[in-house]
Structure 1
């Protein structure tokens, strides 16, 4: 398993984690933004009118309303990325990462407009009378590139497990256990039953559920966020200033945060932006293809709102909560994760400017890095390290007040072996103070508001709703990909496997599946971006035809 996981990570280093990937993603969004004349600005107001049903036509084919299609797509994008993903981006890249999430979302509004319009245009009616659409259909029916469509569809099925299913329930189960003491298997069992009840009903039941859940969960999260933001109102100005001033220079060291270069902040902000709003990935068009509409462009306009709500609104709230509360640069006591822990040679003190500079170069992998991984021994007495010649880093920060525990609670005594920066003894638990990231960081930030410590409970509750709704939406994405690949006969076996995987992941290690999804996401995104670029002229003419038809309809209404 480790060998497979390492191979997938290597593959990802040439795909989603490669330096070129953010530039391709943003480049396509920038191209269409200019090519189509900034549709995310020009059509923004019109999109709200479309979603209200003002321009609906009787007899239009489809399974859902515009609002239900948007809710389903939003339930797929508004998930752990809005809670833990933003925290991870700030942890890695500092305040500047939020700026690049905004840019990704702004350009992503256009990308989503294009991919949804084309996917809706080439959707088909399936054997059971429901609609099926998505990038695989325009790749096949318009571009005659069935091989590319198959790659996209297979990647979508893999991503449905690796993005929307297993990591989501795993996060929910861990959060419910740490916050409320609920056993992961119980959480997984109950939610798996609820998931089955929803997805077996198909898109109409999925849309009915998400159209109610999405507004409720958004309201809860917005109210909770504002309770922290207004409590720390004096820090909002400096936080926003840091987002913009650091955008092109990188974020300087502050507190326990050792700084991030421009390249690091840019890369992490764009990657987290994609993970959050999925613009360009080709997943949301599958949901939007179900909408009742004669004009594909009208549904494309509805999709413009998706990155706006997901990233520019919800992710911004998360970012301001974290930055204004100050927890992002503070060290907190926590149990160290082996993946975030490494020993380096030499004694470093992050209160000294010279040492901060050396650690900054190491963590950001700059050309002037001189720090080396430590190989040697660590002497421990009553749980505390007494030897020197090394520094323990955890979560990209210098660890403090470190304790080594064995058998869950007993202080360790003896000598520990470290090789290439990694502790070799597996049954040792390391506890200390360091930076934290992902959902635990957001949870800490929510305790710094009017609600006090009770604010932390907003995160597990929000995580439950966000992640569960994501699992619902992604089941539909995988469902439609299966229909494309093998037909209607494959739907029920897929749904059964999806629910089973959801349950098992509540108490099992999902590292391999999560790593697999890194690769699958790119195998969705790159073909989709290629496809919409090839259809750029058709997209432009389709938009032009829409406005000609729209103006004629308005003129007829005036004459009545």
Structure 2
């Protein structure tokens, strides 16, 4: 089974067709939006980073604040992919994989901006009066493709058991066992209980936890990485040199490293890039759709910021720490041990910082992915199915802690790819809508638009504005 799924991932799901679809969609959306995310990057930062400590507009529609929404999305993206996933990408694809991860992230900023914008534009209220949205809503409402929307939801629910649950739980138990000798079954029981306590509180509790946890763990991890890079400062230029050179030439065998081709490095870089920032996957827009905002594209800016912070910042510092350590050629180390050793060899106790960070990252990812799957399941089966899903999800947290999950890693990649396909096709098909919303916002980003958070209300607002 593992061999079959690995073959599917390598040759089909994450083969040339997916590279073309993923990167091609990013390029097309960049051209259609005239690269506004980059030409107006200051505006993007002004509507994200600079607004974190500003009071929220009281008349904005939504369930949670924009910062809570992006923290919930970052909780899902900033996880094992930023630590273990980067080490894995380098160890199997070589340093050149990081270059292709950057390419994926640059185009992913545009893709995430677009899918977040659409998620807010086509969102609606559920029976509890909360805003819900995501690819299933803009696929069905914007294109009328009900079956594709249902397929996306099915893939999302299945993916949540892997990438959003067992993979993360296994990383937590493994990290605590190696750093503090805590038995995996003990971690499994405690982690399952903590997850249960959070997820029963719904999006308000999940976003409140994420709002506090994500900034804390990100700052702690980045500070540790900066200390390591200061110690290894003389090796940083060589690390960048390897990244750019090997991206186009492949990596020759060095020490225990088997070597890789340019195409293999590109495939690994794109796959790991999507795994960590989830651009094009369609998962994060489900969280962004809840945000209090006056315009879909304003929240779209938070989507672009999310990819920038996750990959350009977090993944880059991790990659530099690993490359400057020289451990990436050691074939006897797994990716988790490599990350721990890269920090621990440079600063005393560095491995403990990474272990704690890994635990916090993974826990945040679990609760965020639960919400994604809950909304996907609610879309296709209603609220009654959610309680059953909660019980299964919590049980699998324990199973992930105590099990060997090589198959689960492969399944995670498989269903990530399957989720991305209907979402990316929908982004292309709805690109004209994206262009209209993008142009309207960036023509006058400082103006607060009352009640224009859905595409239909946006059109009504435009018509009334022209009459005036």
For residue 401 of structure 2, give the secondary structure of its aligned residue in structure 1. Answer: coil
Deviation at 1:525, TM superposition (A): 0.2
TM-aligned CA distance change 1:268 to 1:542, over 3 Å? same
Paired residue secondary structure (1:260): coil
CA drift at 1:545: 2.3
Which of the pair has the greater relative contact order for Cα pairs under 8 Å at 6+ separation? Answer: 2
Superposition misfits of 4+ residues, deviation over 6 angstroms: none
Which residue of the other structure, out of 513, 537, 540, is the alignment partner of 2:435?
Answer: 540
Whose helix proportion is higher, 1 or 2? 2
Distance (whole Å) between structure 2 residues aligned to residue 505 and residue 448 of structure 1 = 29
Which blocks of at least 5 consecutive residues in structure 2 are unaligned?
450-468
Deviations 1:383-408 (A, max 9, x none): xxxxxxxxxxxx4xxxxxxxxxxxxx
RMSD: 1.8
Which has the larger Rg?
A: 1
Contact 2:13 2:418 in 1 (8 A): no
How far 1:16 moved relative to its partner? 2.3
Question: Under a length normalisation based on structure 2, what TM-score does the superposition of the two structures give?
Answer: 0.91
Q: Does 1:44 align with 2:53?
A: no
- Asked if 1:466 corresponds to 2:463, the answer is no
Q: 1:125 to 1:221 in 2, by over 3 A?
A: same
**Which position in structure 2 is the counterpart of 1:413?**
none
Which structure 1 segments of 5+ residues have no match? 332-394, 396-433, 555-560
SS of equivalent residue, structure 2 residue 248: coil
**Equivalents in 1 of 2:446, 2:213: separation in Å?**
36
Query: Does 2:17 align with 1:27?
Result: no
Return the offset for 1:94: 1.6
| Aligned equivalents of 1:235, 1:42: Cα separation in 2 | 33
Q: TM-score, normalised by structure 1?
A: 0.77
SS in 2 for 1:165: helix
Structure whose residues are more often strand by fraction: 1
Supply the distance in 2 between the matched residues of 1:192 and 1:480 (Cα, whole angstroms).
Answer: 20
Q: Is the 8 A contact 2:225 2:321 kept in 1?
A: yes
Show CA shifts across 1:449-502 (max 9, x none): 1x23x2111221111011110001000000110110111222222222211111
Contact in 1 for aligned 2:294/2:448 (Cα 8 Å):
no
The match for 1:216 is 216
Deviates more, 1:17-26 or 1:302-311: 17-26
Among 508, 515, 522, the residue aligned to 2:410: 515
Aligned partners of 1:57, 1:178: CA distance in 2, in Å?
Answer: 46
Q: Is the contact between residue 113 and residue 301 of structure 2 (CA under 8 Å) also seen in structure 1?
A: yes
1:442 correspondence with 2:439: no
- Cα deviation, residue 272, structure 1: 0.9
Q: Which whole-Å CA distance do the structure 1 matches of 2:62 and 2:151 have between them?
A: 26
Q: Is the 8 A contact 1:119 1:135 kept in 2?
A: yes
How far apart are the structure 2 equivalents of 1:65 and 1:138?
Answer: 21
**For the residues of structure 2 that align with 1:461 and 1:104, how far apart are their CA atoms?**
28
TM-superposed CA distance for 1:56, in Å, is 5.0
Q: Between Structure 1 and Structure 2, how many residues are aligned?
A: 446
Within-5 A mapping of 1:21-420: 21-51=18-48, 52=51, 57-329=57-329, 331=330, 395=331
Q: Given that residues 44 and 305 in structure 1 are in contact (C-alpha distance below 8 angstroms), is that contact kept between their aligned partners in structure 2?
A: no
CA contact (8 A) 2:99 2:243 kept: yes
The residue matched to 2:253 in structure 1 has which SS? coil
Partners of 1:11 and 1:89 in 2: how far apart?
18
Give the whole-Å Cα distance in 1 for the aligned partners of 2:405 and 2:258: 30
CA contact (8 A) 1:277 1:307 kept: yes
Q: How far off its partner does 1:14 sit?
A: 4.5
Q: CA deviation at 1:45?
A: 2.4
Is the 2:159–2:415 Cα contact (8 Å) retained in structure 1? Answer: yes
How far the C-alpha of 1:43 sits from its partner, in A, is 3.7
Structure 1 residues 469-478 or 257-266, which shifts more? 257-266
